[in-house]
Amino acid sequence: MTFPLDLISGPVAFLITVMILSYLVGDNPLFRLASYLFVGVAAGYVAAVAWHQVLYPRLIVPLVFGDMTERMLLIFPLLLSVMLLGTLTPRLSRMGRPVLAMMVGVGAAVAVGGVVTGTLIPLVVETVSLPAASDAMRDAAGMERLLDGVVVLVGTLVTLLYFQFGVNPRRQGKRSRLMSGVAWLGQVFIAIALGVLFAGAFAAAFGSLVERVTFLYDFIFSLIG
């Protein structure tokens, strides 16, 4: 006879949902306990994924069952991993700083390279392509795509120019009127982007709240019924 998991998962989910929603009346120990549980479960899940998908198949197995070439190739990653563990103690924290710097540099390079090659360059090519523009003039959908591309391209350029702080020394650190206007337009695009992101985050949070309230309603009435 199998034990129904709903008899455990239902009350536990109900209790944790009430603990999270208790933040509506203010910060309290129940909410902090639920937050700690969430962080602990997330950390345990990440650790399990790292072990089963990275450490065991790519480190332990090659070291134990691999040939000499595979073991030699693991010396440098293993050394960096040991140096990174030094950040756990204040005395050895300097050992992990070069590894952290390399990780941040590689991550930033990959992110910037992905944005440039995957977004900016295709956007510029598609927007300024004259054959594509002539084809887009034939129907309303093509005009809409062309207009969207122009708006995105202009928004990207003026946003980048907003962070351009180079000024003429003769103006005593002040921007020219043209650069001031471009910077203001870039600030408008930044404000719109942040507003859209905030609206998306608020909609997602509100959707989660509705789902949790619906769960509480269904759970309570399932107990009553």
C-alpha closest to that of 100 among 115, 116, 86: 86
Asked if the structure places residue 123 within a domain, the reply is no
Do 142 and 185 belong together in one domain? yes
pTM of the model: 0.59
Task: Please write the tens of the pLDDT for every residue from 37-92.
Answer: 999 999 999 999 999 998 888 888 888 888 888 888 888 888 888 888 888 888 88
Do 32 and 87 belong together in one domain? no
Asked if the structure places residue 124 within a domain, the reply is no
Do 56 and 84 belong together in one domain? no
Cα separation of 27 and 34, whole Å?
12
Taking the C-alpha atoms of 112, 113, 115 and 117 in order, what is their torsion angle to the nearest 10 degrees? 160
Do 63 and 80 belong together in one domain? no
Do 207 and 224 belong together in one domain? yes
Phi, psi of 222 (to 5 degrees): -70, -30
Do 189 and 207 belong together in one domain? yes
Domain boundaries, position 136:
129-225
Asked if the structure places residue 139 within a domain, the reply is yes
Residues 6 or more apart whose Cβ sits within 8 Å of residue 120: 156
pLDDT of residue 194: 92
Do 89 and 160 belong together in one domain? no
Do 90 and 23 belong together in one domain? no
Asked if the structure places residue 103 within a domain, the reply is yes
Q: 126: exposed, middle or buried (C-beta count within 10 Å: 0-12, 13-18, 19+)?
A: middle
Do 183 and 102 belong together in one domain? no
Q: Which of 91, 118, 145 is the last residue of a domain?
A: 118
Tally of domains within the chain: 3
Do 97 and 137 belong together in one domain? no
Cα separation of 88 and 85, whole Å?
6
Q: Among the ranges 18-22, 103-107, 128-132, which has the highest mean pLDDT value? A: 103-107
Do 107 and 148 belong together in one domain? no
